[in-house]
Chain A
């Protein structure tokens, strides 16, 4: 019926505008018109529109956003809450931070529409604390939105009122897990909660709560403004719409590329100017370090939820970290594993103890001090973490290990025969060309 260009700037479309983060710039380009449209609709119709768009959560899990909103029990007398997960911390993921830096009003507008749809009167943006300027831009945007009457009491005479609070975290990857985020937002240690009850029934302050990723919420104004049909006509059969694809690592021009879901890595690398000169792709993550790594044989996999799952991994957050042949996969995996060990909240034994043992075993292998049976040990430990942990952090910790053993078993063994890492660490750096030849 219709087709779309290779790249489709929607969320990124105003990032090159002068002072794009200001209300004036955002409104000049039609910003906040979708709020007025939404406030003229019944809340349930807004939910239906988002359902009809087939928007699936952009934070990694891909749960249908409209359906999540529909789970909020409106007969529950408690207040309803919207919480935006802006705790972007998954290694490789770097889309929400530039979005909030360049266009915080896109998110604020989405928050107002989503809150109206679920009939929340207080919303929160939980942003990680380690991005100070993003916090500033959010604070300013919220302040501007209040002054313009987009937030506060009786918004634009609609009778609908909303408070929005920007809340800075304090450094904990686990708080990106939605129930840990809720505990953290309640002023506690960020540890995940047992489900059920699900947040839709008993979330923040045990009240019905929707938790959505920044990009999911930021996509909502465009759905209201341009129509669910427009959104649903982009992408692939079960993965509709567009998303921001973040390329990092050994490509000529790393950066953000907004495209319909289903684009391939081959197309994206081409747009990024190819791999860095004289090198070739060795392995990559499709959606952050918690998604099993893939190799050059997967360049033509459609980057949608089904395509990447079919290749044995997950679309995740479209955090495409690319590593060329100068990179030691064992070193890469060990470092990710150290990260999971550091970030394990300690609540459940498989993850707390398991990640510790994974680091010990991998470190031995990396230093050439292990033995071949350690690979079986790693598999065994991973087996005891995967599906047995309290939350997805433990599952994610096993992804790089099992997938790298699957594709690069020989490279692990080479560390044993070589008595250590056979790679030159300097060769993989971006400044290798300037500083190594000297």
Chain B
């Protein structure tokens, strides 16, 4: 593999439909600098097999290059001893890897169902109009790249936006416009559950596994995360077992067994519990047969 071969073309990377956008990077045939090569190798060394580092390596390429470039792909390929086509096959699979230059601030608007219904669709429409860009496009000043994103695991804060993958919770069309205006004006903006926002390239460096020392910024949790806990505190609810009368009272145990639905946690006598456990074990065996089905995901039910 010749990383300095200026004529090399990466399928899916150099075949971008937006030739103008690609050419603005003025990409040279110079390889990445030695420091970046060293860090790319450092990523690979974290794993029993270096190729496991490819995703973080591509994050590092984006932090250095502002997108996934041909020479970034060549560098990964060279270090891992695989072909550039194999690297670009990976780079084109994941949505966080960008083939066109990304602005200083990647602004995501969740338009998956729940956020869309709660206002995400209207926020995204307003932002497109306000910024005069379409989906996955960057403003002329290079400040903002707007993209609608899928569920980002913050549904109790809907409608949710992200800036450089930091949470901006409970947004409205008005607050979304104010947010991007402040970003474009260079004003400091903080995540609702995190630190002052860094640039997209700086964020990509953290994702590559090079921490930026901002872990201690921001709160433990946002208000919605604590709704249930606060109720438990007010009512003095804990996870301790509450003695339910006299444990040895056979009569009471029988009474509980009569009405098992009254409390999901209510249990009968010790003997009844053992029987239940046996039943659970038997049922588990059945579950195993069922769940060993190759179609069963085992992990997240997706």
Contact = CB atoms under 8 A, between A and B. Distances in A.
B69 interface: no
A320 to B, nearest CB: 9
Contacts of A174: 302
A194 B209 CA distance: 31
Interface in B23-67: 46-49, 51-56, 58-59
Interface string B217-232: 0101111111111111
A62 B265 CA distance: 19
A430 to B, nearest CB: 5
- Top 4 A-B pairs ranked by shortest CB distance? A60-B301, A262-B264, A255-B227, A187-B54
Given A249-B158, A343-B150, A136 B299 contact: no
Contacts of B93: 172, 189-190, 345
Given A1-B253, A199-B298, 12 more contacts: A15-B225, A15-B229, A16-B230, A19-B216, A188-B51, A189-B89, A233-B241, A242-B239, A248-B114, A249-B155, A290-B301, A429-B159
Nearest to B150: A339
Given A233-B241, A235-B265, A247-B156, A90 B302 contact: yes
B166 interface: yes
Nearest to A392: B297
B140 interface: no
A312 interface: no
Contacts of A85: 299-300
Interface string A178-222: 100100111111100011101100000100000111000000000
Counting chain A residues whose Cβ lies within 8 A of the other chain, the interface size class is 35 or more
Given A98-B221, A170-B96, A178-B297, A122 B48 contact: yes
A387 B295 contact: yes
Given A8-B239, A194-B294, A255 B228 contact: yes
A269 interface: no
Contacts of A140: 211, 215-216
Interface string A220-248: 00000000001011111110101001111
A19 B283 CA distance: 42
B49 A205 contact: yes
A4 B226 CA distance: 20
14 contacts: A2-B247, A7-B228, A12-B228, A22-B216, A60-B299, A128-B153, A130-B162, A170-B97, A194-B294, A233-B265, A240-B280, A257-B231, A339-B151, A429-B118
A272 interface: yes
A391 B228 contact: no
Contacts of A8: 232, 237-239
Contact of A91 (B54, B151, B295): B151
B120 to A, nearest CB: 9
B300 A176 contact: yes
Contact of B206 (A20, A88, A136, A426): A136
A232 B114 CA distance: 34
A414 interface: no
Contact of A335 (B113, B222, B223): B113
A379 B264 CA distance: 36
Given A8-B238, A133-B167, A167 B56 contact: yes
A369 interface: no
A431 B237 contact: no
A392 B116 CA distance: 24
Interface stretch (B1-9, B131-139, B180-188, B267-275): B267-275
Interface string B252-286: 01000000100111111110010011011001100
Contacts, number: 431
A256 B224 contact: yes
Interface residues of B, number: 120
Contact of A336 (B51, B113, B276): B113
Nearest to B263: A3
Given A101-B220, A396-B301, A249 B153 contact: no
Contacts of B231: 7, 257, 271
B237 A5 contact: yes
B107 to A, nearest CB: 13
A199 B292 CA distance: 11
Contacts of B112: 91, 289, 335-336, 339
Contact of A131 (B51, B94, B153, B269): B153
Interface in A48-69: 54, 57, 59-64, 67-68
Interface centre among A85, A129, A195, A287 (most CB of B within 10 A): A129
Contacts of B52: 167, 185-187
Contact of B243 (A2, A5, A194): A2
B242 A4 contact: yes
Contact of B301 (A3, A6, A94, A317): A317
Contacts of A103: 220
